Copies of this chain bind each other. A is one copy, B any other.
Amino acid sequence: MLTPRQQLILSVIVDDYVQSAEPVGSRTLSKHEHFHLSAATIRNEMADLEQLGYLDQPHASAGRIPSQKGYRYYVDHLSSEGRLDGETVRALQELFRQRMDEWERVAQQTSTVLSQLTQYTTIVLGPHIHQERIKQIQLIPLGGAKAVAILVTDAGQVASRQVQLSDDIPAEQVAVMVHLLNQRLTGTPLFRFGSLMYKELASEIGNVLEHYEDALLVLDELAKVVNENQRVFVGGTTNILSQPEFRDVDKVKPLLEMLEQPDWVPAVMSLQPKAGVEVRIGMENGLPTLQSCTVISATYTVAGVPVGSVGVIGPTRMHYDRVIRILDYASQVLSHAMTARLAGK
């Protein structure tokens, strides 16, 4: 357990280092604010904190910088409960006041605004449309045996995919099939629209329909699109380049390569069952490329169910409290907006 004075010192070191990116020396600290301590005393405390693993020393005659453990302690115990400034709040409220129809645009915008506010790289994930319900399924023949299957949700999202039907299926059979599917599926929430319901449906449809394999194919393709449609938006990538720890091209390159190819996202920002802000410092991310980065993410919900998340990625030397507050607030506002969109007319 750290003494209050140790906590204070750690806290000031983190704040100072986050700001300046320079190792913090004892003299700097002794002059800080209302410390009535001399540099020597602080040196002793810092030596202790280093021994305990909360501080690192880049080399013998440099100041101290927080270790990963130090950041972790800071986030868990020392982070202040302050408020967001009015300007930031206003920017976020403004952002989510816009129409929620076109998710693509909202996600893009969110990502842009968050990177502007935080000056880090932003990731916007989702939303899974699993909370929405099937409004209508359409099958539009294109000639040959090709057709486009279209699924519309009650919130107005549209998913579509080309499918190849059996060659010999007559047009009226297709009509019957679509009618049947709509009858059976309209109103079904998409989270039930998975492999589970196929067996149910297969027997049910099999009795009535001749070409029920085609019907299943259509559903299968649509299910694929639905599952793929949790897209990832990455914004403010170049903010990384402003961070002094990434002034070296060889250091940024692996990181940018990772950001360009976003399959890693689920590993780092998996949908948490609970809403709330999560902080992963350095190694805690699991990925070697991110060992000197921190990822902070927040899950947002629709009607209480987590459907997506927003996150920020930057160096471990990060403005923890500010980013945490921003993401906390943003995810709340986003949850409200998305819920309203689904429920409201």
Contacts and interface: CB of A to CB of B under 8 A. Distances in A.
B237 A260 contact: yes
A249 interface: yes
Interface string A132-174: 0001101010111010101010111010111000000000000
A31 interface: no
A143 B252 contact: no
Interface stretch (A240-248, A274-282, A298-306): A240-248
A176 interface: no
A64 to B, nearest CB: 27
A340 to B, nearest CB: 13
Q: How many copies does the complex hold?
A: 2
A150 B150 CA distance: 9
A59 interface: no
Interface string A222-237: 0000000000000111
Interface residues of A, number: 37
For the complex of A and B, 8 pairs with smallest distance between CB atoms: A144-B345, A158-B160, A101-B162, A156-B162, A238-B257, A241-B253, A238-B256, A148-B156
A87 interface: no
A102 interface: yes
Interface of A: 99, 101-102, 135-136, 138, 140, 142-144, 146, 148, 150, 152, 154-156, 158, 160-162, 235-238, 241-242, 246-249, 252-253, 256-257, 260, 345
Given A138-B150, A142-B154, 5 more contacts: A101-B161, A156-B162, A237-B256, A241-B249, A246-B249
Contact of A241 (B135, B146, B256): B256
A143 B152 contact: no
Contacts of A138: 138, 150
A7 B345 CA distance: 72
A136 B152 CA distance: 16
Contacts of A154: 142-143
Given A246-B249, A248-B249, A140 B152 contact: yes
A173 to B, nearest CB: 19
